[in-house]
């Protein structure tokens, strides 16, 4: 039953629930991503030690850790469908845009889980000064939204190529660098007591632009 305008919200919700359920059955992606995030965190923490007063380093390394975790795990949602040969069936049930939005929401949830584990550990291990929670969480949320928008779209493209894993990081990077730059400078401003308005607006605008382009492009990603 292909979805039309009225049922596309339901289709997105169904895709999200299906993603969560199939992830929960094996927890393969989640375990791998958490292990990866913690390994990166450990190597960063081990290499530089505690950085109590270097908020510039702290904000940069925090986003490098999160970027690595995202790059290691976020192409999974589409690659799993292609490797399991289930994408064709999925497309019979829902429109490309509904599939993509469902997977985007799943990736966002996935990032939130990873961050819920990684960020407190990071703050504790690195001896970071207490952040301004409102501003810090807003930046984390907007940064994750932008990361998820970019990586979901690239994941959809990359899942149809050879050598998916290796290509994903390289092809995503040009899209992720503005997110990295804005998030790092916002996080630093937050620690230094400055305003985060410009960075937050920039991240929101970038996420919105990526989302808008995605909605137009997803129909073109699958055609054959």
Partner 1 sequence: MIARASLFVWITAWMVAAFVWAPLVPVLGETTRVLYFHIPAAWVTVLALAWSMGHSALYLKRRSMEHDHQAAAAAEIGILFCVAATVSGSLWAKAMWGAYWNWDPRETSIFFMMLIYAAYLALRSAIDQEERRARLSAVYSAIAFVSVPFLMFVVPRIYYSLHPDPIINPRGKVDMDPRIRIVFLAMLVGFTGLFFWLQSLRVRVARIEHRRGEP
Where along the sequence are the contacts to partner 1 (CB under 8 A)? 150, 153-154, 157-158, 160-163, 167, 170-171, 173-175, 177-178, 181-182, 185, 198, 202, 205-206, 209-210, 213-214, 216-217, 220-221, 223-224
User: How far is it between the farthest Cα atoms of the chain?
Assistant: 58
Residues in the chain, overall count: 224
Q: How far is the CB of 171 from partner 1 (least distance, A)?
A: 4
Residue 52: phi, psi to the nearest 5?
Answer: -60, -40
Distances (CA, A) of 41 to 100, 138, 183, 188: 30, 22, 18, 19
Measured from the CB atom, the residue of 25 and 162 that comes closer to partner 1 is: 162
Return the exposure string of 7-17: e unless at least 16 CB atoms fall within 10 Å of the residue's CB, then b. Answer: eeeebbebbbe
Q: How far is the CB of 132 from partner 1 (least distance, A)?
A: 20
Measured from the CB atom, the residue of 41 and 180 that comes closer to partner 1 is: 180
Give the Cα separation of 111 and 75 in Å (integer).
12
Q: How many CA atoms lie within 13 A of 44 on its CB side?
A: 25
Give the Cα separation of 54 and 60 in Å (integer).
10
Q: How far is the CB of 101 from partner 1 (least distance, A)?
A: 16
Token match 């230094």: residue? Answer: 192
Measured from the CB atom, the residue of 118 and 159 that comes closer to partner 1 is: 159
User: For residue 142, how many other CB atoms are within 10 A of its CB?
Assistant: 24
Measured from the CB atom, the residue of 123 and 173 that comes closer to partner 1 is: 173
Q: How far is the CB of 184 from partner 1 (least distance, A)?
A: 8
Measured from the CB atom, the residue of 38 and 217 that comes closer to partner 1 is: 217
Give the Cα separation of 154 and 84 in Å (integer).
19
Q: How far is the CB of 60 from partner 1 (least distance, A)?
A: 12
Q: How far is the CB of 34 from partner 1 (least distance, A)?
A: 28
Q: How many CA atoms lie within 13 A of 53 on its CB side?
A: 0
Measured from the CB atom, the residue of 177 and 195 that comes closer to partner 1 is: 177
Measured from the CB atom, the residue of 9 and 174 that comes closer to partner 1 is: 174
Q: How far is the CB of 205 from partner 1 (least distance, A)?
A: 8
């Amino acid at each position: 039953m292909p979805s039309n305008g009225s049922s596309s919200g339901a289709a997105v919700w169904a895709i999200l629930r299906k993603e969560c359920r199939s992830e929960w059955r094996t927890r393969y992606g989640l375990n791998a991503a958490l292990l990866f995030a913690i390994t990166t965190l450990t190597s960063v923490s081990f290499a530089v030690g505690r950085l109590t007063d270097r908020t510039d380093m702290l904000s940069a390394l925090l986003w490098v850790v999160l970027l690595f975790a995202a790059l290691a795990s976020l192409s999974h949602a589409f690659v799993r469908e292609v490797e399991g040969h289930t994408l064709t069936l999925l497309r019979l049930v829902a429109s490309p845009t509904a599939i993509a939005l469902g997977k985007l929401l799943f990736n966002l949830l996935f990032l939130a889980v990873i961050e819920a584990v990684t960020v407190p550990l990071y703050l504790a291990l690195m001896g970071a000064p207490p952040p301004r929670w409102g501003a810090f969480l807003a930046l984390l949320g907007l940064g994750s939204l932008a990361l998820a928008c970019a990586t979901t779209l690239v994941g959809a493209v990359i899942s149809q190529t050879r050598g998916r894993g290796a290509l994903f990081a390289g092809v995503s990077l040009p899209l992720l660098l503005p997110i990295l730059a804005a998030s790092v400078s916002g996080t630093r401003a937050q620690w230094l007591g400055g305003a985060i308005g410009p960075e937050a607006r920039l991240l929101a605008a970038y996420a919105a632009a990526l989302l808008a382009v995605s909605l137009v492009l997803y129909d073109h990603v699958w055609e054959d």
